[in-house]
Amino acid sequence: MILNGQDENFDLIVAAKNGDQQALSTLIEKFSEPIHSFIYSIVGDWNIVEDLAQETFLRMISAIKDYEFRAPLKSWLFRIAVNLCRDHFRRKKVRSIVSFLTYDSNEEEISIVDDKQNPLRDLEKKETLHKIEQALKSLPEYLRLVFVLRDIQELTYEEIAKTLKWRPGTVKSRLFRARKEIAKYLIQQE
């Protein structure tokens, strides 16, 4: 299905496809917050959010000429971000195996996540939010993805299905599981 005029950013996208730099900047401006927030919710590491967001938009710029309006631009961008997050997890896994093999007991353990530097802490100090973040981290990747896309980014079920290339039924059942797991986690924390 091709969306054509249905995408609210249709004119901007067409201009960007024709190489309009201003249109590209506007698109980046428009989607930078949801993309940053999405990546943060998935990887949970403030230090690499900007790098991954940057790479998402660089890929958007280089591939926008081939964008065919088959899904809303937002879903398309989230798809790119999901792939980058997965690559990051794969690299992290390899790094953790390597560091395990070359582990030196004298080395001081350094935490990657520095909570003091996290501006989200300053922005929103509510305990519930912090708990939800912790609960999110406890979820497996596929449940975290569906929860973040629906309950944080507020994408429709159809958009999530297109972004993650799942069937709508799968989206619903996994979302139900994700919410239930988070609820259980929060009840346990009480």
Partner 1 sequence: MKKLLFKLYDSVRNRFFHNAASRHLPENGDIKKIDEQIVLIKKHAVKLKKYPVSPFFTQKVMNLARTRQKEDVWVNLQIIPTPAVKFAFLTLLVIILFLFIPFNNYDNVQDTASPDPITILYNVDSLNYEIKSDDQALQFALVN
Binding-site ranges for partner 1 (CB under 8 A):
21, 24-25, 28-29, 32-34, 36-37, 40-41, 49-50, 53-54, 57-58, 61-62, 119-120, 123-124, 126, 128-129, 132-133, 135, 147, 151-154, 172, 176, 179-180, 182-184, 186-187
Q: What does the block give as tokens for 112?
A: 């990657």
Minimal distance, residue 62 CB to partner 1, in Å: 8
How many angstroms separate the Cα of 115 from the Cα of each of 8, 68, 85, 118, 122? 37, 41, 20, 5, 10
DSSP string, 15-29: HHHTT-HHHHHHHHH
Q: What does the block give as tokens for 187?
A: 């009840």
Minimal distance, residue 132 CB to partner 1, in Å: 6
Nearer to partner 1, 140 or 169 (CB): 169
Nearer to partner 1, 62 or 106 (CB): 62
Minimal distance, residue 110 CB to partner 1, in Å: 24
* Cα–Cα distance, 152 to 149 (Å, whole number): 6
Nearer to partner 1, 10 or 26 (CB): 26
Phi/psi at 179 (nearest 5 deg)?
-65, -40
Q: Please report which helix (H) or strand (E) contains residue 58, including its range.
A: helix 46-63
Minimal distance, residue 184 CB to partner 1, in Å: 7
* Cα–Cα distance, 153 to 176 (Å, whole number): 16
Minimal distance, residue 124 CB to partner 1, in Å: 6
* Cα–Cα distance, 100 to 96 (Å, whole number): 6
Nearer to partner 1, 104 or 190 (CB): 190
